[in-house]
Amino acid sequence: MSSHFFTDTSVLLGRSMRHILRSADTIITTAITPIAMMLLFVYVLGGAIQTGTDKYVNYLLPGIMLIAIASGIAYTAVRLFTDLKGGIFERFHSMPIARSSVLWAHVLTSLVANALTVVIIVAVGLLMGFRTSAGVLAWLAVAGILALFTLALTWVAVLAGLSAKSVDGAAGFSYPLIFLPFISSAFVPTNTMPSAVRYFAEHQPVTSIVNTIQDLFAQRPVGNDIWIALAWCLGILVLGYVFAMSSYRRKIS
């Protein structure tokens, strides 16, 4: 690894962030669909859904944030694919820079862009009546879990961007990730589901992450869910990173 890795990464991160800021509609577009879902479920369907909470928006918000992140990482795959096909990688590799800094710039851009999207969604949630008694430490824990979830999915997005044959293929991998929250505890408690669906819902990563965030917001003990959530996120992160770097090395060799 080049001794200038951090400098190289910061320079390339600045390049990626300038693209994001020049096309802020990307962040707005990523936020629109989750916000529309939140409006639909709270104001149209919320009255018919029993979750045991005073306000359905309090129950719903964690799942909406995860949907927004799953949508946002698709843009990372598309940006990476576009750079790869546009010859940008070859230009960077002809310079004396750390080669992995090219990927890390995209990854860090994803973290920043998705964080901005989540902030927008939380702001809309507050306008819709979302309230929490969570203190600073609980909010920091929520932010940490969301950042880890974003980082894990971003490396999966990097792998998709490196492996795709078309822009549609680069973006399309995120669709199953976007729908995972619908088969979890994000919208309704899992105990209301048929047995087979309930089993899947209770043994996939989104449920443990949603339960953890809901408990942190409500100032309830998080129990084992937080460890299961961290294990899922770290496992996906490690596998995504290993396979993405392996694919990257094959591309540039």
pLDDT in tens, 193-210: 999 999 999 999 999 999
Distance, CA of 35 to CA of 125 (rounded, Å)? 8
Hey, what amino acid is at 31? A
User: How would residue 61 be classed by pLDDT, with cut points 50, 70 and 90?
Assistant: very high
pTM above 0.75, yes or no: yes
DSSP state at residue 45: I
- Structure-model confidence comparison of residues 15 and 110, the more confident one: 110
> How many CB atoms neighbour CB 166 within 10 A?
10
Distance, CA of 46 to CA of 52 (rounded, Å)? 12
| Measured torsion, CA atoms of residues 26, 188, 173, 205, in degrees rounded to the nearest 10 | 110
- Structure-model confidence comparison of residues 162 and 143, the more confident one: 143
Asked if residue 118 has pLDDT above 80, the reply is: yes
Distance, CA of 173 to CA of 167 (rounded, Å)? 11
Residues 10, 100 contacting (CB under 8 angstroms): no
User: How would residue 54 be classed by pLDDT, with cut points 50, 70 and 90?
Assistant: confident
* 114-143 average pLDDT score: 94
